[in-house]
């Protein structure tokens, strides 16, 4: 890519630099910036100690030798090289590669370590308009529960955490991932939902069926 | 048809699944010698007096008399769609229309099977097609392998938590939107 195509350096800036100190925040911010402009871009990301990560946004695909399930805790010495793909230019790598959604899910859930991603604003509420394909994402049942909450109303991360009985850090992580995946509606104006203290409104019946089945299945 | 309904019930059930099969009269649709008709039945026992009963019913329209029973009795449905079929999105939309009430109370999860053989359409394309017809519906749509106990449990748990959250927040959420 560096030899045959015009390269440039992408240097994302973020208002929440503290949340990006593991390096993955930088990477995630850069990817989100490109997704926002919806341009036919090619991106190469180099992280020290790893083979380069290539993304071809035209095809919503990436390749990386590193297993996403073994994402290093820190990304050090990160560099970016980006360019716009010429019309009709061949794919950056042999397709199909991997679905970019896989990378977005992992980065969104890990990059900001329990803080709101820098492109999201405090005061916003979020509502799911499309479920992520949980069949392809490693996930916890708490996340499923939060998704079900988000599918039924607008919630701030703090409200979401209360409604699903989850730590607020996990709510932030999930919101970040869903935002990266473009699966959220965002509103600053909508009024808050009244959140019952027991998520399923079944205080009088004891644990919800979900909780009982989850326990029964050991999940 | 051919989405893996019998296999899915077997993956989930804690008892020996009761299955009834008969000759496949639609070999042009799915080329297998038998196909499930009438019913599969399985259970998950939660306690001495509580169990989850699972009924697998066929998707062919000639069995729609059974759907009527499901519509009135079932709490929820995992709709398995064979992605290798001729028009899986149209099939999903037809079922959503038929089970409209169940969908609107949060009682449907769509499981797209055989996506390893037929990766298109994607779950996103399913969701967008559904949103065009029912923009107010947010239905969980996943790829899954009906043979996988883990994935079928995921679908079942998602169905149940979605039902419960709809019951808790649904009306207020609709007004909020």
Tens of pLDDT, residues A38-69: 999 999 999 999 999 999 999 999 999 999 98
Q: Which CATH number goes with the domain that contains B10?
A: 3.40.50.300
When pLDDT is cut at 50, 70 and 90, the band that residue A198 belongs to is: low
Q: At what angle do helices B88-98 and B64-73 cross, to 10 degrees?
A: 50
pLDDT of A151 strictly over 50: yes
Looking at A48, A83, A110, which one is the last position of a domain?
A110
Within 13 Å, how many C-alpha atoms sit on residue B43's CB side? 10
Q: Which CATH number goes with the domain that contains A165?
A: 1.10.10.10
Q: Is B9 on the interface with A (CB under 8 A)?
A: no
Say what percent of chain B tops pLDDT 70.
87
Q: Does A23 share its domain with A96?
A: yes
Q: What are phi and psi of A144, to 5 degrees?
A: -60, -40
Would you state the pLDDT for residue A10? 45
pLDDT of A197 strictly over 80: no
Question: Would you say residue B165 lies in a domain?
Answer: yes
Q: Does A154 share its domain with A106?
A: no
When pLDDT is cut at 50, 70 and 90, the band that residue B24 belongs to is: low
Question: Which of A146, A187, A107, A138 lies closest to B150, judged by CA?
Answer: A138
How many domains, in total, are found in chain A? 2
Contacts of B171 (CB under 8 A, 6+ apart): none
What is the rounded distance in angstroms from the CA atom of residue A13 to the CA atom of residue A33? Answer: 10
Query: A178 vs B1, which has greater pLDDT?
Result: A178
Residues of the domain holding A70:
17-110
Question: Would you say residue B99 lies in a domain?
Answer: yes
Question: Would you say residue A211 lies in a domain?
Answer: no
B114-165: pLDDT as tens digits: 999 999 999 999 999 999 999 989 999 999 999 999 999 999 999 999 999 9
Q: Does A105 share its domain with A139?
A: no
Question: Would you say residue A196 lies in a domain?
Answer: yes
Looking at A110, A145, A169, which one is the last position of a domain?
A110
Chain centre distance of CA B117: 19
B157·A214 Cβ contact <8 A: yes
Question: Would you say residue B119 lies in a domain?
Answer: yes
Name every chain B residue with its beta carbon within 8 A of the beta carbon of A201. 167-168
Looking at A52, A78, A110, which one is the last position of a domain?
A110
Q: Which residue of B has its CA nearest to A193?
A: B172
pLDDT of B101 strictly over 80: yes
Q: Is B142 on the interface with A (CB under 8 A)?
A: yes
When pLDDT is cut at 50, 70 and 90, the band that residue B27 belongs to is: low
What is the rounded distance in angstroms from the CA atom of residue B114 to the CA atom of residue B166? Answer: 29
B177·A153 Cβ contact <8 A: yes
How many domains, in total, are found in chain B? 1
Would you state the pLDDT for residue B28? 57
Question: Would you say residue A148 lies in a domain?
Answer: yes
Would you state the pLDDT for residue A219? 87
Q: Does A155 share its domain with A186?
A: yes
Q: Does A36 share its domain with A98?
A: yes
Residues of the domain holding B86:
5-169
């Amino acid at each position: 890519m560096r030899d045959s195509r015009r390269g440039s350096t992408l240097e994302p800036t973020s208002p929440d630099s503290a949340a990006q100190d593991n390096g993955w925040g930088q990477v995630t911010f850069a990817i989100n910036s490109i997704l926002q402009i919806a341009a036919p871009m090619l991106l190469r990301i180099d992280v020290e100690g790893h083979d380069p990560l290539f993304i071809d946004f035209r095809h919503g695909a990436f390749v990386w030798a590193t297993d996403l399930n073994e994402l290093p805790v820190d990304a050090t010495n990160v560099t970016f090289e980006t360019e716009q793909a010429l019309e009709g230019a061949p794919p950056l790598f042999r397709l199909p590669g991997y679905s970019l959604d896989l990378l977005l899910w992992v980065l969104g859930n890990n990059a900001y370590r329990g803080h709101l991603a820098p492109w999201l604003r405090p005061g916003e509420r979020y509502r799911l308009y499309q479920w992520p394909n949980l069949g392809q994402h490693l996930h916890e049942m708490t996340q499923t529960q939060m998704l079900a909450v988000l599918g039924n109303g607008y919630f701030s991360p703090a409200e979401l955490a209360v409604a699903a009985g989850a730590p607020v850090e996990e709510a932030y992580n999930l919101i970040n991932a869903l935002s990266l995946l473009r699966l959220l509606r965002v509103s600053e104006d909508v009024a808050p939902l009244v959140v019952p203290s027991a998520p399923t409104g079944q205080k009088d019946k004891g644990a919800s069926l979900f909780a009982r089945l989850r326990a029964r299945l050991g999940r | 048809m051919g989405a893996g309904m019998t296999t899915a019930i077997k993956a989930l059930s804690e008892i020996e699944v009761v299955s009834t099969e008969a000759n496949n009269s639609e070999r042009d649709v799915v080329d297998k010698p038998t196909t499930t008709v009438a019913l599969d039945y399985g259970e998950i026992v939660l306690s001495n007096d509580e169990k989850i009963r699972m009924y697998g019913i066929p998707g062919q329209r000639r069995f729609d008399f059974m759907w009527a029973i499901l519509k009135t009795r079932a709490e929820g449905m995992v709709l398995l769609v064979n992605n290798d079929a001729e028009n899986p999105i149209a099939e999903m939309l037809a079922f959503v229309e038929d089970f409209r009430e169940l969908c609107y109370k949060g009682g449907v999860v769509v499981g797209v099977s055989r996506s390893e053989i037929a990766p298109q359409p994607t779950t996103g394309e399913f969701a967008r097609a559904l949103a065009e017809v029912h923009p107010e519906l947010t239905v969980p749509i996943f790829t899954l392998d009906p043979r996988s106990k883990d994935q079928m449990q995921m679908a079942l748990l998602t169905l149940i938590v979605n039902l419960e959250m709809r019951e808790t927040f649904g009306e207020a959420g609709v007004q909020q939107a």
